[in-house]
Amino acid sequence: MRRFNVMPNTHFRAAETVFRSTAAIAAVALLSAAPTAGAQSTSPRAAAMASAPSGCDRDCLIGLADRYMAALVDKDFSGLPWAERVRFTENDVGLMMGDGVWGTVTKIDDDPFKLADPATGNVLWVGIVEEHGQPAYYAMRLAVEDGRIAEVETVVAREGTPAHFAPTADYRVDDTFSAPLPEAERRPRERMIALVEGYYNTMQLNDGQLLGEFAADCKRVSNGVDMTHGENVPAKGCRAQFEIGYYKPVDRVRARRYPIVDEERGVVVAFAMLDHAARYTEYQTLDGQTLSIPVEYPNSHRVMELFKIRNGAVERVEGFAVFQPYLMPSPY
Amino acid sequence: MNRKNVSATFSRVTAVAGLLAAGAALAQAPGQPSAVIRVDCDHACLIDFTERYLDALVHRDTTRAPFSPRVRFTENNVEMPLGNDGLWGTINAVWEDSMAMADEQTGNAVWFGIVEEHGNPAYLALRIKVEDRQITEVETIVNRLPDMPKPFGDPTRLYYDPAFSEIEPPENRVSRERLVAIADGYFSTVELNDGTIFTPFHEDCGRVENGIRTTSGGSGPGSAGSIAQGCEEQLRLGIYRINKRIRERRYPLIDEERQVIVATGFFDHANTFDRYTLTDGREMRTVLKWPNSISLIEAFKIKDGKIHRIHAVFTYVPYFMHSPFARPNLDFQTR
């Protein structure tokens, strides 16, 4: 039986381990010297934030994302600040820099969505790119260490695969993902991640049991397709769809990672794999509808999704999905 | 005896012991368990193992075939537990018409045929490895619809050429090494295809890919058969120029008697260009505009030392995806 990887990526986990160990040693030392000093946080994240591991604040991270994309469209990565060892993936396959979309790109979005997380040193760039004039949904994540790019993860959802795909002409990430929340509507990072976990836990093997919190008007958009309020959906809204078990054919939401969290804007960036074992082709929803699965053979979807969390509930989910071989491993 | 001498003696003893150990380990070809290959499962036995595997598969019951406790299973290059996932969770039929081949020396057998998932036919290419009468490796390529544009012939009209099972007279055979060279030369010809020919083609050479004869007839506008006829003729035109790299080439099955060799590998389409010119000046346009790879199992029948028949099953996989069976520092760096 495969186990779900609900931990952050290996790299981040390794970093956390180091911080935890360091914090533990520090805590022991402090306890020996002054027992009352144990009142401060020893959480790995606090240690990470205090030491600014990326060596790069929000503006610096956004600037690096812009530089990377400018280099991409110029097809020249030589001027970027690279870490000693760099990981580069496109749709879960490790490549040498310059390969993949670097060889096909002809244009990039001039109005992208960007989000940075100085605590983790990650930044995201989301928009439309064109390959020989053909548009694709594109998400790019950089991990920055000491001001240098150590990871480049790209998710490119292209037209013509069995995955859903809406025309890109008018696509842009919804403004809600850029808008700061009033203080009262924000939640701590840990709770935000728990809410996204709850969303995915509800989705996998969806049987009507709700394991998360969903806003009344919660909406999900994937590859430009309105999945919750579009045509022919069997129920309107995230919650209503989960309540009838619409997502039952998702057997597993695997390899979940949350490398970017923005408490101010209430946004979590999630990376995950959705496995569809396709053991049946029709299924019944809890309200009696008979539905067909879209692809009648085993497949997985690599997803990058933005979650808007407001007032302790998932309000909007928006992202991209790439059709992948069933159980395709995540390299992170 | 002083301390230094003790040390020197100890070093010499260690070195001699090391040489003996190394000598024992290198007394046969690298990767081989013994200098003499013990054949405990012959051609017919290996073919029977493919039948037993398919019987277990269609019944979704792994107890119906002898699997090693450490069996490795991949479907379209993803390794997963055997018996419940992938095709094992969807299959409802195996078609009788099929083609199988085997290599007594490596213990590999390959089967090409049609399976059904929920009633939908799919092309299956299967490789199994048998060791000590147990299946230790299962590598499958499953070509299904819907997918991106690719050959997918009518399965009811699929033709298995009997040439693959015909035993060649000894005087017409070439060695295992030459069979590898011929198949490898085919891939080198297809790679960066610019009209240069690196392998001998029989004048009657024909190729079936995913059930379509792509070297004869015309299977629609833009198909290889409608551009040119014949293996060598197509390659002299450079119609396969988009193959940046034929990678992770492996040759797990060689049958010298029948002059058959089966290869696995990936065709990388980097698609850094979306139009190109044939050697006769015609301009071609790529169908897909973005990087992708195809993963295949491909059988070659060699006649008189030349490629006579090619039978392949392939499917799209993410660009540059790897095989869990490939050796990263050998199969990739050299190919």
Give the length of chain B: 335
CB contact under 8 A, B320 and A99: yes
* 3-state SS class at A227: coil
pLDDT of residue B329: 62
Backbone angle region of A46, left / alpha / beta, with phi > 0 → left and psi within -120 to 50 → alpha:
alpha
Residues of B in contact with A91 (CB under 8 A): 318-319
pLDDT at A30 over 50: no
Nearest CB to B271; choose among A92, A104, A325: A104
Give the count of Cβ contacts less than 8 A between chain A and B: 106
Nearest CB to A298; choose among B86, B149, B272: B86
CB contact under 8 A, A100 and B319: yes
In whole angstroms, what is the distance from residue A229 CA to residue A214 CA? 15
DSSP state of A180: P
Q: How many CB atoms lie within 10 A of CB A233?
A: 14
Interface check A327 vs B, CB under 8 A: yes
Interface check A321 vs B, CB under 8 A: no
Q: Which class for A38: exposed (0-12), middle (13-18), buried (19 or more C-beta within 10 A)?
A: exposed
CB contact under 8 A, A277 and B85: yes
pLDDT, mean of residues A242-253: 98
Interface check A158 vs B, CB under 8 A: yes
**Residues B162, B311 contacting (CB under 8 angstroms):** no
In whole angstroms, what is the distance from residue A65 CA to residue A110 CA? 13
Q: Around A28, how many Cα atoms within 13 Å sit in the side-chain half-sphere?
A: 5
Q: What is the Cα Rg of chain B in Å?
A: 23
DSSP string covering A277-298: ----SEEE-TTS-EEE-SSSS-
Mean pLDDT by groups of 10 residues along chain B of 335 residues: 41 46 63 80 98 98 98 98 97 98 96 98 98 97 95 93 97 96 97 97 96 80 75 96 95 97 97 97 95 98 97 98 84 51
Nearest chain A residue (CA) to B274: A132
In whole angstroms, what is the distance from residue A247 CA to residue A276 CA? 10
Q: How many CB atoms lie within 10 A of CB B13?
A: 10
- For residue B18, report the phi and psi dihedrals to the nearest 5 degrees: -60, -45
Nearest chain B residue (CA) to A103: B272
CA-based nearest distance A39→chain B, Å? 47
Find, among B49, B80, B233, the residue nearest to B142 by Cα. B80
Nearest CB to A281; choose among B75, B86, B118: B118
In whole angstroms, what is the distance from residue A235 CA to residue A243 CA? 9
Residue A14 banded pLDDT, cuts 50, 70, 90? very low
CA-based nearest distance B134→chain A, Å? 23
Residue A97 banded pLDDT, cuts 50, 70, 90? very high
CB contact under 8 A, A93 and B318: yes
In whole angstroms, what is the distance from residue A24 CA to residue B209 CA? 60
**Residues B77, B322 contacting (CB under 8 angstroms):** yes
Q: Determine how β-strand A252-262 pairs with β-strand B245-255.
A: unpaired
Give the whole-number percent of chain A exceeding pLDDT 70: 84
Outline where DSSP puts E strands in A191-297.
214-222, 225-226, 252-262, 267-276, 282-284, 290-292
**Residues B333, B92 contacting (CB under 8 angstroms):** no
Residues of B in contact with A136 (CB under 8 A): 290
Q: State chain A's mean pLDDT as an integer.
A: 88
Find, among A152, A111, A106, A113, the residue nearest to A129 by Cα. A106
- How does pLDDT run across A193-244, given as a tens digit for each residue? 999 999 999 999 999 999 999 999 999 999 999 999 998 899 999 999 999 9
CB contact under 8 A, A99 and B291: yes
pLDDT, mean of residues A21-29: 38
CA-based nearest distance A128→chain B, Å? 14
Secondary structure, 3-state, chain B: CCHHHHHHHHHHHHHHHHHHHHHHHCCCCCCCCCCCCCCCCCHHHHHHHHHHHHHHHHHCCHHHCCEEEEEEEEECCEECCCCCCHHHHCEEEEEEEEEEEEECCCCEEEEEEEEEECCEEEEEEEEEEEECCEEEEEEEEEECCCCCCCCCCCHHHCCCCHHHHCCCCHHHCCCHHHHHHHHHHHHHHHCCCCCCCCCCEEEEEEEEECCEECCCCCCCCCCHHHHCCCHHHHHHHCCCCCCCEEEEEEEEEEECCCCEEEEEEEEEECCCCCEEECCCCCEEECCCCCCEEEEEEEEEEEECCEEEEEEEEEEEECCCCCCCCCCHHHHHCCC
pLDDT of residue A34: 41
CB contact under 8 A, A92 and B318: yes
- How does pLDDT run across A139-168, given as a tens digit for each residue? 999 999 999 999 999 999 999 999 999 999
CB contact under 8 A, A133 and B289: yes
Find, among B156, B178, B127, the residue nearest to B313 by Cα. B127
**Residues A38, A23 contacting (CB under 8 angstroms):** no
pLDDT of residue B18: 46
Residue ranges of chain B whose CB lies within 8 Å of a chain A CB? 75-78, 80-81, 85-87, 89-90, 117-118, 120, 122, 142, 144, 146-149, 270-272, 274, 288-291, 317-322
In whole angstroms, what is the distance from residue A111 CA to residue A113 CA? 7
Angle at the Cα of B255 (from B253 to B260), degrees rounded to 5? 85
Distance, C-alpha A167 to centroid of its chain: 22
Q: Determine how β-strand B212-213 pairs with β-strand B201-209.
A: antiparallel
pLDDT at A4 over 70: no
CB contact under 8 A, A156 and B77: no
Residues of A in contact with B291 (CB under 8 A): 90, 99-101, 103-104
Identity of residue A160: G
CB contact under 8 A, B120 and A279: no
Query: What is the token pair recorded at A39?
Result: 């009142």
β-partners of residue A257 are A271
Distance, C-alpha B268 to centroid of its chain: 15
**Residues A226, A219 contacting (CB under 8 angstroms):** yes
Residue B282's alpha-carbon distances to A133, A186, B228, in angstroms, are 22, 62, 12
pLDDT of residue B24: 54
